[in-house]
Every structure is written in C-alpha cells, then in structure tokens.
Structure 1
C-alpha cells in the first residue's frame, strides 16, 4: 500500500492532489510568530509524518523557497513570488487602494480592507499612516475574525447557516481581558453590527487599539469585504470614531458598492 504522504488524491476526490495540499500546509506552518521551525515542529503543526514533512521541506529548500541552517527551516524571499502572483492578478486590491488612501488623507489614520478566509481575515489592501500595533500589518496579514472590526463587519452579514457553523467551530481565545469569548455575547455583538451597519472593537485584539469597520455590500447583496480605520484609544473615543471616521468609511463603501 502506498504511503499516505504519496497519495495523489484526498478526501475521495480524485481531482484533489494531496501532495500539493500538504506542501501548501507546510508553507502555511510558518508565520510571523513562527518564522523558524524544526522538522519535528513542522510535522506536529501540519499533522504530516516526519518522513513526509522532511520530503516537503527538502523540496522547498531545493527550489529555493526555504532555507535550512542545519536545524531550523525558514521561508526564503522567493516565497514572495506566490503572494505577488495574487497581487498582480487581483483587481480588488487595485480598486480598493485609492479609496483607502483617500480615507487616510481625510482622517489622518490607517485604513485597511480585508476578506474572510476560513475563520480569519486577510488584509488585501492597506494605507498605513503609522504603526499602531505591536505587530506589523500589511497585505497578506491574517488576524482572527471574531475580535476584529473587519471580521465582525463581514461575519454579521453572512447567511444564518454559515454564521451558525462559524460560531459552533471557532475557538474564542482571549487576546486581552476585554476580548469577547462567550458565543452568546459574540452573536449579540454581531446582531448589533448588522442593526447599526458598522462594527467597533475596542482593545479586544490588542491593548490601546480601537477600530471601526463597515461592510462593503456588493451588487448581489453579499458581503465578502470590509473597510476599517484603526486608531490609538488615547486619540479617539468611540463617539469620536463614529463622528470623525464613520462618514469617510461609509462614503467609500457606497462608492465601491457598484464596482464589486
């Protein structure tokens, strides 16, 4: 019987290439908090056998997508080709960027656009006036959806069945003592977002950070993108966020609505 790491199909679907799926999982094991990993760590994070993980890592290293110092593996700059392939072919980011830059000019604060990918948001465009988080954010950065204004602005507009499935499976881990980790409370917060048309999150993701987001309701009525502005808590109260920032976000959202 062939080794499971060498199977060419997975999940009963013969059009799915298991080896590619696992190779991508190895790449995704690396992130900002795990830039360097041992073979054992990669195997544990991906659920792939050590022998399988070794083959994928050696292949990535041979193709110059990863580096190896004798103990630790890390992704090499060549991996940026994969992300650039998306950026160069995706029109969404290009359409969003001018609007984000205008928002930042009007408000003096950083603005971003993100989409929902699984249980996380992924930044697809960003206009940063200054760094306000302990971690650097850029296009491609990922954050939990449940404790971010961008995530809530998208989640609140998902079909009931999809939202129920999300709330059932997501792990609500506290990022700060203010993070909502109760599913009933999170559902109520999302219902409030839908009722008022915007999401505001204060220090649930990180101390000192407050953000406000609006959904980009597309022509077909769906919401897959949200826009936000982030600011230091000391610079803007919730009332000031609504008064100063919400109009710019809504103006951009309305203008973009007919282009998506």
Structure 2
C-alpha cells in the first residue's frame, strides 16, 4: 500500500475502539492515551468524535462504547457465511458430546471466535462471537498457526505478548514451533491448562475442498471431566465428522 493511501486519523480511531474490552469497559482520556500510545490531545479528539457519532458515551470523565459499535462487528458476521455455516454443526456437536464447541479464525496474533455453542461456562471469562484469545496458547490458535508457512507462524509467535498464564503455559518460541510441528503431524492440537488452570481443549482445522484451513474447531472442557489423552479418544472422532461435513461447504 502506498503511504498516501493510509489514513492516519482513521487508524488512530480504530486503536481507540480496540482499547476497550471486557476488563476495560469504561476508560478516561488518560487511560486511552496509555493503552494506545497516543498523546492526550489525539486521544481526546478520537473519543469525542466517537461520542459525537454515537459510538461512545461520555459522562464527563469516563467514556464507554455504546451498542452502536456492534454495527462494525455485525458487518463482518453478516458478510461472511462462515458463522451461519458452522453454527448448526457446533450445536449438534456440543449436544452430542455434552461440552462447549467453538469456531474461530486467526487475526494477527489472536484468534477471534466467530461461532460458539456453550453447554457450560468453562473459563473465568465469558466467550462469545467476537471474543479474542492469544493464538500461541489456545488450541484453535495452534491449529491455525500450524496451517501457515513456518516463517509466517514464527513471525506471529515472535510478535505475540507471550506470558505464562499458568505454570503449564509454553512461551518459548522454539518450544512453540516444535508444538506446531506436532500439530501438523497429528492433525489436531491439545491444550492442557495453558490458558487457564482447570481448562483443557482440543482443536482441529476446518479446511475447504482445496485443503486450506479457513477456521478452527474446538471443544473445551473442565479438566476434571477428562484427562488430556482421554479427550482425543472421547471427542476427536465426532469433531472429525464435523470437519468432513463442512469441507465441501467452505470456500
């Protein structure tokens, strides 16, 4: 892209929107400046513009996003057929195995949930369409990274803010690259309490007819429900049925 094609003000506004989240629903100008790296004057202008357009509310100190912001995410969910295609299969899979099932896509260093069928809450945070998790330590993230060329996957891992969420979290880039090689070999990823203590998950790629991974499918379960290797025997066959059924439908 040519430098003259880049609209800096628009990019700054998007950075401001992305600063808000489940743990940061209400932010001050100072908070936004710190979160985005923008100076206070720029952060203030962006926030007041969002408020003027109805995308944010302002009480004189704190800003918070309004429901109008959902139009931005809904535009993607409406434009892509993926969520509509996978949701019935997730519902059936979740009902069949008695656990939560999800589908996600890769976005930079994170995965974004595009569909979910929840049997019960398996994490301390609530996961819905639009939720994000770091790719390096999520089962669906490992599957999607493994589908990339090694140099590209390594660049994403290097760019990730790799932190040890639990004593089991793998953060060393070389170890993570070895994990991706194993995922490619076996065709699935198994995460044992790397995101959160007490949570295990198993994922595999959702590929189109040309063999390209367009998304990932996973089942997450409390660790007390199944040992790590039990998950392979208990859930993988049903997941592979969904994988095969969706293959001719995905573009």
Structure 1 residue runs without a partner (length 5+) = 1-10
- Compute the TM-score of the two structures, normalised by the length of structure 1: 0.92
1:21 alignment counterpart: 11
Pick the aligned partner of 1:114 from 93, 104, 123: 104
1:130 aligns with 2:150: no
1:105-254 correspondence to structure 2 within 5 Å: 105-254=95-244
Counterparts of 1:87 and 1:167, CA distance in 2: 27
Pick the aligned partner of 1:98 from 84, 88, 91: 88
SS in 2 for 1:258: helix
Counterparts of 1:168 and 1:107, CA distance in 2: 36
Alignment size in residue pairs? 250
Structure 1 window deviating more from structure 2 (88-97 vs 116-125): it is: 88-97
Counterparts of 1:196 and 1:39, CA distance in 2: 48
Greater percentage in helix: 2
Counterparts of 1:219 and 1:43, CA distance in 2: 46
Q: Does the 8 A contact of 2:136 with 2:157 survive in 1? A: no
2:55 alignment counterpart: 65
Counterparts of 1:55 and 1:168, CA distance in 2: 33
Supply the RMSD in Å over aligned alpha carbons: 1.3
Counterparts of 1:129 and 1:156, CA distance in 2: 28
**Cα deviation code 1:151-186 (max 9, x no counterpart):** 001111111221122233223211111100111111
1:75 aligns with 2:75: no
1:3 alignment counterpart: none
Counterparts of 2:25 and 2:57, CA distance in 1: 11
Counterparts of 1:175 and 1:73, CA distance in 2: 29
Q: Does the 8 A contact of 2:203 with 2:217 survive in 1? A: yes
2:41 alignment counterpart: 51
Structure 2 residue runs without a partner (length 5+) = none
Q: Does the 8 A contact of 2:187 with 2:204 survive in 1? A: yes
Q: Does the 8 A contact of 2:86 with 2:103 survive in 1? A: yes
Counterparts of 2:159 and 2:51, CA distance in 1: 35
1:13: how far off? 2.2
Counterparts of 2:187 and 2:74, CA distance in 1: 33
SS in 2 for 1:158: coil
1:78-89 correspondence to structure 2 within 5 Å: 78-89=68-79
1:83: how far off? 1.6
Provide runs of 4+ in structure 1 moved above 6 Å.
none
